[in-house]
Amino acid sequence: MVKRLLIVGAGEAGRMLAREIGSRAREQYLPLGFLDDASQLSGHTVDGLPVLGTTRELVAVARAQNADEVLIAVPSAGREFVRRMVALCRDAGVAYRIAPGLLEIIKGPVHLEQIRDVRPEDLLGRETVEFDEAEIARFLDGRTVLVTGAGGSIGGEICRQVGRFDVKRLVLLGRGENQIYEIERELRALYPARDIVPVIVDVRDAAALARVFAAYRPDIVYHAAAHKHVHYMEGFPAEAVKNNIAGTRNVIDAARAADVARVVMLSTDKAARPGGVMGASKRFCEFLMASRNDPAGTKLVSVRFGNVLASRGSVVPLFIAQIRAGGPVTVSDEDATRYFMSLKEACMLVIQASLMGEGGEIFILQMGEPIRIAELARDLIALSGLKAGSDVRIEFTGLRPGEKLHESLIADDEEVAPSRHEHILCTRPKLPPRAHIDAALASLESLAAAGDDNAIRAELARAIADATLAGGNAVKTKSAGHA
């Protein structure tokens, strides 16, 4: 059956697609015409197709033309535009898809194969960031790469991205055997020529970690192993110390002993002006990385992430699961905002940092304006073909201990500078004296061994000038959407 198609956007992308449909897909689509907000196009034809109205008239035009599907072909479309088009298509009862973004247009012609469903990353309000893959390929060529936390969603995606390049060996290190088994099996199917080595080791075990590093002598280490859930670490501060802080110290020591060239640690925007134990633990890890950096030896670099779309345990998969269950979708606060990045952006940022870093820096992706969590929830409900309120209820549950209303990318005492990548910022943390960091580390490990949670919070607050840590056991609070 031929689908009757409306094209939103009579610019270059829309015209390219209309021409390709005419030459290649006449049996699939019948282009009805364009919708475009340019006043000079009203009532005219473009490449033989009429401009049937503006985007505001989508519902009326779709019904009048008996359209089956709408194609959004506006490469520069921001989050609000995409959201509005999705809502109008839903009101009109027509299917919708989207053409590639501006960066893909610049690279070459638009083809039918690039048309796809609207995805959560289309709601970022910006183009996803591109990285220089040729430079990355040269950097990784012939090197041994080790990834800690390789069974996690971000660690696993780093492995997938690294596996695309001609590395000598890829070592998958993690403590969860099932997760390592799954990523190993996937990578062997994707990259049968790669030398892939699974290793079941916990980063808390310094001696075992040192043996692995000595055996495989990695050139580059991507340190993704960490506890990341804010409310769990608020309830179990000792685990944040043992896994995040001591685990990072163990990776640093093993890397330096094995003459690893570069280590990149994954941090978080929650480390800047931390309001909870998880963020404070990652800020302390940034201190460890910068204070132990050796300009003549192992270079230690950190990257701060925003919230990663589609990573396991993040807010988008949670919202999608709640929507599929019929709701409610749980949001902490109507005004809460977060920075977001795609999973590929996060992983390529890590790899890019490993080749740019000279040691001691923190790299941060420019993620545009923060997004309101409540609006993201409404967007995802609309993408599911439903309406917030009448079809799926949104429930506001309140901020949990350790959560902030708004996140920061930069700490109070940090200065930001551009890097040689136009979308990546660089900062160097203002460090306490090395002796103070070492003393705080020893104290934190002793307190973690004793299980003294309140004293751990107090020690972190002393070590991090702009931290605001409160007591309380967040695990006992009501579960909610979080980011």
Catalytic residues: 270
- Cα distance between residue 159 and residue 222, in whole Å: 9
* Of the candidates 273, 303, 252, the residue with the CA atom closest to the CA atom of residue 424: 303
- Cα distance between residue 361 and residue 95, in whole Å: 46
